[in-house]
Amino acid sequence: MFDVNRVRRDFPILEREINGRQLIYFDNTATTHKPIQVIDAVSGFYRMHNANVHRGLHLLSQEASELYEEAHDTVASFISAQDREEIVFVKNATEAINAVAFSWGLRSLESGDEIVCTVMEHHSNLLPWQFLEEFKGIRLKFIDLRPDGTLNLDGLNEVITRKTRLVAVTHVSNVIGTINDVKAIGEIVHDRGGLILVDAAQSVPHMPVNVKDLDCDFMAFSAHKMLGPTGIGVLYGKKDVLNSLSPYQFGGGMIHEVSLHKSTYSVPPWRFEAGTPNVAGAVGFAAAIRYLDEIGMKNVREHEEKLTSYCLKEMLEMEGVSVYGPRDPERIVGVISFNVEGFNHHDVASILDENGIAVRSGHHCAQPLVKRLGVRGTVRASFYIYNTIDEIKRFLDVLRSITGSG
């Protein structure tokens, strides 16, 4: 049984008070807090095992190498990848997407090739393709939204063509929480000979994700959005796809043999992990995954659905509050974007902060989507495993006071 009160005891930061009130943290889409198990894992590595990996015969180096490689295995198992060879550690989802753009895009794309995105992409899954549009002369196309905040998939056969080399799509919108049918999109692009990259920064932390079932060619996500440390993320790639790619960074750790004028490179994933890696981050990441595995991702999803369903119902009944995106909790993760009539979104966030409630305000690194919604920015409340109904009630009370209905 999922016990949120037991979970909360593992997060020291939740004991903090902000302006005399116990912290309520609803900014989980930006980053999540870390349980003591993750903090101890990182600290324990530095206390007992600190050494560089793959570079030494001494015991500390052997221990560090084993922990680092086991972290790849832990991530692979978590998303049902084939094995560690499909798991490349990078610093975040942004670098993972850029790695595909530079390792695959720069070398493979030609003028006239097409890449398809959606209007709800995070800037990290848009700017690399804009660069290739300018640098390589490719054509960038977009899947639009329906009025309810879901993707309009009716015209996919016209948008995705034989010229489409890649579809780069978010699994879950970081602004309105929409869960996209990336499997259906992937089937169409594969039928036309292209690849699919899934930005899973907002899905892997919140719901069960199986890369074999989705049949994606690439997937990107970050540890810090799923209880892990900052500075480490994942590029998943199908083994045959990664084996066909050249590296995008060069240096120690990724080579097979080096001469003065020519070098050969190691096999994936090491081919794409040049330089000293974030070993402590990998250890902390593995601890975060073990923590989530113990809870069960199905329980994570069900808990967020409960929170989101309650909060949405109450907010939709408030006068002067506009909520953006799908209204069905089964079609979104725990993200609610909204505005209050007569108030700037930043002012609403400031008032909530004065009451000890942390939310995010602005365009959320997704300006095209926010403009598509017809606003300059929104307030975003996002939930995770340590949030409670009582916290949402306090949030709603402050919101009612802002609207004058409390």
Distance CA(285)–CA(282), nearest Å, equals 5
Query: Token digits for 173?
Result: 């919108």
One-character DSSP codes across 202-249: TTTTTS---HHHHT-SEEEEEGGGGTS-TT-EEEEE-HHHHHTPPPSS
H or E element, residue 47: helix 36-48
Helix axes 279-295, 36-48, angle to 10 degrees: 150
Query: Token digits for 403?
Result: 């609207």
Residues carrying an active site annotation: 365
Inter-residue long-range contacts of 54-57, CB under 8 Å, 24+ positions, other chains counted: 54/253, 54/270, 55/252, 55/253
Q: Please compute, for residue 2, the number of CA atoms within 13 A of its CA located in the half-sphere on the CB side.
A: 20
What are the residues whose beta carbons fall under 8 Å from the beta carbon of 395, sequence distance 6 or more? 24, 26, 311, 352, 357, 381
Strand 21-22 with 87-90, pairing: unpaired
